[in-house]
């Protein structure tokens, strides 16, 4: 049971890391290169689409799985899973809910400006700050993946 929970924790943590990483190294750079009117509309659509049952487990259940693995594993492996859970919970999930989500909601309330200059100003007020916090949650999620991987390697081997 411990190994199965640990593998689920690793899988969920890797999934959310990959999600944040994709935003960091492709989606946002692509939107920054697009017409700001298109970028705003696309970001609004993507943020609306992410609220789904497929995304839910990776985003919300990752700390649950990591803390469950910590409780089951105990010892050094448990500490590693616990560190991963704490890092993701604080700098992944809570940071997202406290910073990125409110920024997304504010952008969702913006009517896409027809004027390219006004759209560029709106996008410039959003994208750089959003990306800073996305890199923080990406790094934290990467650390959590590493911690889960270490925890998994520290689990006792079956003979």
Extract the tokens encoding 16.
């959310």
Report residue 74's pLDDT band, with 50, 70 and 90 as the boundaries: confident
Instruction: Work out the mean pLDDT of the chain and round it to a whole number.
Output: 97
Distances (CA, A) of 106 to 47, 94, 101, 138: 11, 18, 9, 22
Q: Percentage of the chain surpassing pLDDT 90? A: 97
Q: What is the pTM of this model?
A: 0.94
Region class of 31: left (phi > 0), else alpha (psi between -120 and 50), else beta: alpha
Sequence spans of domains, the chain: 2-154
What average pLDDT does this structure show over 106-125? Answer: 96
> What mean pLDDT do residues 74-84 have?
96
51 CB-contact burial (10 Å; exposed 0-12 / middle 13-18 / buried 19+): exposed
Position 155 confidence tier, pLDDT thresholds 50, 70, 90: very high
Which tens digits make up the pLDDT trace of 2-16? 999 999 999 999 999
């Amino acid at each position: 049971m411990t190994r199965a929970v640990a593998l689920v924790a690793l899988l969920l943590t890797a999934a959310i890391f990959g999600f944040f990483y994709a935003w960091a190294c492709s989606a946002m750079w692509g939107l920054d290169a697009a017409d700001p009117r298109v970028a705003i509309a696309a970001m609004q659509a993507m943020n609306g689409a992410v609220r789904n049952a497929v995304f839910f487990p990776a985003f919300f259940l990752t700390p649950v799985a990591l803390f469950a693995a910590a409780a089951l594993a105990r010892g050094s492996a448990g500490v590693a899973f616990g560190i991963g859970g704490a890092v993701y919970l604080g700098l992944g999930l809570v940071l997202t809910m406290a910073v990125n989500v409110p920024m997304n909601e504010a952008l969702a309330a913006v009517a896409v400006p027809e004027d390219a200059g006004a759209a560029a100003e709106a996008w410039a007020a959003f994208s750089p700050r959003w990306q800073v916090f996305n890199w923080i949650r990406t790094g934290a999620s990467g650390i959590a993946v590493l911690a889960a991987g270490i925890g998994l390697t520290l689990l006792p081997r079956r003979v």
